[in-house]
Amino acid sequence: MKNLGFKLLALSLAFILLSSLDGYAGGRSRAGTNAASELLIPVGARYIAMGGASVSTAAGIDAIHWNPAGLSRMTNSAGAMFSHMTYIAGIDLEYVAVAANFSGLGTLGITFKSLAFGDIAITTEDSPDGTGGLYSPNFFTFGLTYSRLLSDRISVGATMNLVSEKLDRVSGSAIAFNAGVQYTDLGNVPGLSIGVAMKNVGTTMKYSGTGLLRQGQLQDISRGPSFYNVVASTNELPSTIELGVGYSRSFGESGKLNLSSLFQNNNYDDDEIKVGAEYAFKDIIFLRGGWQLAPDAPNDAVGAENSYVFGPSFGGGFHYDLGGIDFTLDYAWRDVNFFDANNVFTVRLGF
């Protein structure tokens, strides 16, 4: 009866997430109007190399970004993850995560993600070519994740992210929530899994600060210029719903093939389809590949290329037991139209 209750709870959550798809119209008309787009930037070389199609298969500390339900499938008592990505337009991304299993409670994870933009010239209405000063935006996301195995097949998880953005003398913040479910060995088929996740649902973001002060002259009043405050509008977070199917099969004692697929419904952009594959040799060497596309995305302004910028991805990994410490080094390369390709390096440690 207990396992039945767990299953009904998880399946009810999955149904709620899926039913929410009706409320998500195609986001093309609102593209570029959301806040906190950094929430959409993926982390971790393993699943980026697999096209990001991992909502049903992500496991361990890697899973925090992709589907928090997978964190509880961590095979070590504790783990740490460090990742670096060369993103687009000269932006670098740094990511750190730590997680631990607590017997009888579940698995807890803490994450920190930041973007490095470098120095940017300060421009104003009066000095469009620059004032001679520089500033560096400060964007970071701090996350807390809880995940639990409800049975040997069903896991659930949720993440709360604090998002903070600061640009010179203005700043904004928001709270974003992720929730997900994973079900393995679906229909008693070994290796078949499904996953559902809803991401970036939370508060709106609004900028404020002294950078929004302007000086103006009031008409018909005998006084000098006065400062007034520009009230910024609020913007919603880039919410998504993801539904994925995965399959895993072993070949003897040395090889294992992992396949994954995903449909991602975006509230502020075109919907995406992602597929990925991973071949593991003796749990030591890993080869990966993936593809992501947005079938409904229009061509660019001149009609030459599809406006969706991401394409195929490739990568590999190496895992070794260092005397009781699981060490894994992963690399991913992702093609990007109009920009240099993304390069991702990740180190994972298991204790």
Measured at the CA of 307, the angle between CA 50 and CA 275, to 5 degrees, comes to: 20
Please report the pLDDT score of residue 25 as a whole number.
46
Please report the pLDDT score of residue 35 as a whole number.
86
Rounded distance between C-alpha atoms, residue 1 and residue 6, angstroms: 9
Q: Give the 3-state DSSP-derived string for 169-213, with helices as H, strands as E and coil as C.
A: CEEEEEEEEEEEEEEECHHHCCCEEEEEEEEEEECCEECECHHHE
* Residue with more model confidence, 133 or 85: 85
Q: Tell me the pLDDT band of 24, cut-offs 50, 70 and 90.
A: very low
Please report the pLDDT score of residue 103 as a whole number.
86
Measured at the CA of 165, the angle between CA 163 and CA 170, to 5 degrees, comes to: 140
Determine what percent of the chain is predicted with pLDDT higher than 90: 62
Task: For residues 25-41, give the mean pLDDT.
Answer: 76
- If you ran DSSP here, which 8-state letter would residue 6 be given? H
Which domains, and CATH codes, for the chain? 2-205+238-350 (2.40.160.40)
Q: Tell me the pLDDT band of 5, cut-offs 50, 70 and 90.
A: very low
Q: Is the pLDDT at 56 greater than 70, yes or no?
A: yes
* Residue with more model confidence, 127 or 96: 96
Please choose, from the candidates 322, 255, 323, the residue with its C-alpha nearest in 3D space to the C-alpha of residue 283: 255
Task: For residues 280-292, give the mean pLDDT.
Answer: 95
Task: Lowest mean pLDDT of 21-35, 58-72, 221-235, 291-305, name the range.
Answer: 21-35
Please report the pLDDT score of residue 13 as a whole number.
53
Q: Which two tokens stand for residue 9?
A: 């709870």
Please report the pLDDT score of residue 253 as a whole number.
83
Rounded distance between C-alpha atoms, residue 190 and residue 301, angstroms: 47
By CB atoms closer than 10 A (0-12, 13-18, 19+), residue 216 is exposed
- Amino acid letter, residue 191: G
Question: Looking at the chain, how many residues does it have?
Answer: 351
Convert the pLDDT of each residue in 232-242 to its tens digit.
888 899 999 99
Continuous H helices in the chain: 2-19, 45-49, 63-66
Q: Tell me the pLDDT band of 22, cut-offs 50, 70 and 90.
A: very low
pTM, full prediction: 0.88
| DSSP output for 224-239 | --EEEE--PPEE----
Task: For residues 156-164, give the mean pLDDT.
Answer: 97
- If you ran DSSP here, which 8-state letter would residue 106 be given? E
